[in-house]
Amino acid sequence: MPLSGSPLRKLGFLTIGLFDPNNPAPGHANTLEIIELGEQLGFDSAWLRHRHLQFGISSPIAVMAAASQRTTRIELGTAVTPLGWENPLRLAEDLATVDLLSGGRINSGISVGTPMNFDTVKDELYPDTADLEDFSFERAERLARYIAGEKIREFSGKQGVVEEFSARVEPHSPGLRERLWYGAGSLSSARRAGEHGFNLLTSSVLFADPEDSNPHFGLAQQAQILAFKEAAALNGHRQPRVSQGLVVIPTDSASAEQVRRYKDYVQLRTGRTTAPQGPHGMLFARDLIGTSEQIAEQLYSHAGFQEVDEVAFALPFSFEHQDYLQILHDIAQKLGPALGWKPASAS
């Protein structure tokens, strides 16, 4: 989408699925309600953040399974599942099962690396193997092989009277491998995703290029997307998908009180966007707030947005359920059309 006037092809949203730790059921029910609303409004996809030992969705696959039985069309994704917490073989089984239940609508976004705050949980997560676990990209490659249906052992066939065994992960869901996404935050990880046939999820958090003395978020994101596309093409992956996940807060139908709270939220988060943060040069994108017309104008001037034709706009972390309903309505009915998008139900 290089210029204003080129239509946005796919519109999705991303939610953390907040809940009250003293009464978690209503929060999970609200997440399912939001996904159902997304389908009714014509969104193409709904994505779930993955949080462990926090007050957001810890089991997005279970939530996607429930959502798959309440919806018929909208695609369901994770953005992203940190593989350091997962056994790739077991994860492949779960993803394939839910993909089949959904009719082929699952988009699994993953990432690799040592789990966050690993020292505080490693003895519980991996009591015997914490120092031996491989948290490198090889973990993602294994998951991809398992989902693709590659043979993983020699043993198969019948054993005894009724037991029959497979040499690959079962169930196998054809097409799921092409719907694997990688959440990249650096030039090297973006290239690696392209080389290995993943789609690319790029969000509102990136790592600056160490050689860039004056990094700019939009330009850094654009460079990563272009590096991904180049690597994918060089390795024979001709139609990789790229989705951008900025935080947008349209205020078209918001009340005065909502607008006040939204602006306070954005102001608190804006300071971190003015310069790279931490020893690794982490870059944060500005939250985009205003009318849909104002947000569309900002997006069209965003270098990263200019390289994509699908988005999964991130809902703010700590808003009320009614706030999310208002934001989703405005995205679908105001912002999406301002970007040339048409609801799926109207296609």
pTM above 0.85, yes or no: yes
CA separation for the pair 343, 333 (Å, rounded): 9
Q: Please list, in sequence order, all residues whose beta carbon lies within 8 angstroms of the beta carbon of residue 317, skipping any fewer than 6 positions away.
A: 16, 18
What burial letters (b/e) apply to 34-63, b meaning 16+ CB within 10 Å?
bbebbbebbbbbbbbbbbbeeebbbebbeb
**Which pLDDT tens digit goes with each residue over 63-121?**
999 999 999 999 999 999 999 999 999 999 999 999 999 999 999 999 999 999 999 99
**Which pLDDT tens digit goes with each residue over 301-316?**
999 999 999 999 999 9
State which CATH number among 3.40.250.10, 3.20.20.30, 3.40.605.10, 1.20.120.530 fits the domain covering 10-346. 3.20.20.30
Joined tokens for residue 233: 């093409």
Residue 281 has pLDDT above 90, yes or no: no
Q: What are phi and psi of 40, to 5 degrees?
A: -60, -35
pLDDT value at position 85? 98
Pairing relationship of beta strands 106-111 and 75-82 according to DSSP bridges: parallel
pLDDT value at position 252? 98
**Which pLDDT tens digit goes with each residue over 25-78?**
999 999 999 999 999 999 999 999 999 999 999 999 999 999 999 999 999 999
